[in-house]
Amino acid sequence: MDFTAEQIAMWLNGELIGNPNAIVNTLSKIEEGEKGSLSFLSNPAYNHYIYDTEASVVIVNNNFVPEKEVKTTLIKVEDAYSSFAMILTKYDEARKSMKQGISPLAFVSESASVGKDVYIGEFVFVGMDAVIGDGARLYPQSYVGDEAKIGTDTILLPGSKVLHSCIVGDECTLHEGAIIGSDGFGFAPQQNDDFRKIPQIGNVILEDRVDIGANTTVDRATMGSTIIRRGVKLDNQIQIAHNVEIGENTVMAAQCGISGSTKIGKNCMFGGRVAIAGHLEIADGVKLAGTAAVASSIKVPNSVEMGAPSFNHKSFLQSYVYFRRLPKLVERITNLEKALKEK
**8 A C-beta contact, residue 145 and residue 163:** yes
* pLDDT higher than threshold 80 for residue 12: yes
- 3-state class (DSSP) for residue 51: helix
Specify the higher pLDDT residue, 329 or 300: 300
Model confidence band, residue 326 (pLDDT cutoffs 50, 70, 90): confident
Question: Do 188 and 307 belong together in one domain?
Answer: yes
* pLDDT higher than threshold 70 for residue 317: yes
> Residue 81, CB half-sphere, CA atoms under 13 Å: how many?
4
In a domain? residue 256: yes
In a domain? residue 336: no
In a domain? residue 129: yes
Question: Do 112 and 91 belong together in one domain?
Answer: no
CATH number for the domain including 22? 3.40.1390.10
Question: Do 116 and 75 belong together in one domain?
Answer: no
Question: Do 109 and 213 belong together in one domain?
Answer: yes
CATH number for the domain including 142? 2.160.10.10
Residue 39 lies in domain: 3-96
- What pLDDT does 29 receive? 92
Into how many domains does the chain fold? 2
Question: Do 159 and 119 belong together in one domain?
Answer: yes
Structural domain ending residue among the three candidates 64, 96, 128: 96
In a domain? residue 325: no
- What pLDDT does 321 receive? 80
In a domain? residue 324: no
Question: Do 91 and 210 belong together in one domain?
Answer: no
Determine the average pLDDT of the residues in 194-216.
Answer: 96
In a domain? residue 343: no
Structural domain ending residue among the three candidates 81, 96, 111: 96
Model confidence band, residue 98 (pLDDT cutoffs 50, 70, 90): low
Question: Do 154 and 301 belong together in one domain?
Answer: yes
Report the chain's mean pLDDT, rounded to a whole number: 93
Question: Do 166 and 254 belong together in one domain?
Answer: yes
- What pLDDT does 76 receive? 95
Which of the residues 175, 242, 279, 313 is marked catalytic?
242
**8 A C-beta contact, residue 236 and residue 216:** yes
Q: What region does 308 belong to: left with phi over 0, alpha with psi -120 to 50, or beta? A: beta
Question: Do 134 and 271 belong together in one domain?
Answer: yes
DSSP annotation string for 121-185: -TT-EE-TT-EE-TT-EE-TT-EE-TT-EE-TT-EE-TT-EE-TT-EE-TT-EE-TT-EEEEPP-
Question: Do 281 and 303 belong together in one domain?
Answer: yes
Question: Do 23 and 154 belong together in one domain?
Answer: no
pTM of the model: 0.79
* pLDDT higher than threshold 80 for residue 96: no
In a domain? residue 42: yes
In a domain? residue 173: yes
* pLDDT higher than threshold 70 for residue 97: no
- What pLDDT does 95 receive? 65
Determine the average pLDDT of the residues in 128-135.
Answer: 97
Q: Is 175 a catalytic residue?
A: no
Question: Do 188 and 209 belong together in one domain?
Answer: yes
**8 A C-beta contact, residue 150 and residue 174:** no
Cα–Cα distance measured from residue 132 to residue 191, given in angstroms and rounded to the nearest whole number: 46
Nearest to 113 by CA among 124, 101, 100, 126: 126
